[in-house]
Amino acid sequence: MQEDGIKLYDSELKVMSILWKEGIVPARHVADVLTRELGWNKNTTYTLIKRCINKGAIERTEPDFMCRALISREKVQEAETNELINKIFDGSADKLFAALLSRKKLSAGEIEKLKKIVGDLD
């Protein structure tokens, strides 16, 4: 994922996901959630938070080592999608779209939603 030269890895995205969902929270809360959900050690989470801080993805404030995402989920999704399209589908969004659609039987409602999305692009 590239945004302003920032590359976030899957483990860092787990940390970011909590911040996107919950907003500004103490680092210890992020560590508690990831320990509960993934079995991570608190030190692992703190290391990942510090990596994200060094990359400019998270801002840390005191007191209580409060963490805030500096990159939006939407920007990350856009950058990750662009990287996927370029890396796997030779820069062709229609090839990605076709690959996604060929893997799943869509309901009439899902097809209508997709038609609306495509129609809104005009």
Question: Which domain does 45 fall in, by range?
Answer: 10-73
Give pLDDT tens digits along the chain (122 positions). 444 558 899 999 999 999 999 999 999 999 999 999 999 999 999 999 999 999 999 999 999 899 999 999 999 988 888 888 999 999 988 888 888 788 778 788 888 888 888 888 76
At residue 2, the pLDDT reads 43
**Does residue 103 belong to any structural domain of this protein?**
no
Cα-based distances in Å from 52 to 14, 106, 112, 113: 11, 38, 39, 35
**Does residue 83 belong to any structural domain of this protein?**
no
**Does residue 22 belong to any structural domain of this protein?**
yes
At residue 4, the pLDDT reads 54
CATH of the domain at 28: 1.10.10.10
pTM of the complete model: 0.78
Q: Are 48 and 67 in contact (CB under 8 A)?
A: no
Q: How many domains does the structure of the chain reveal?
A: 1
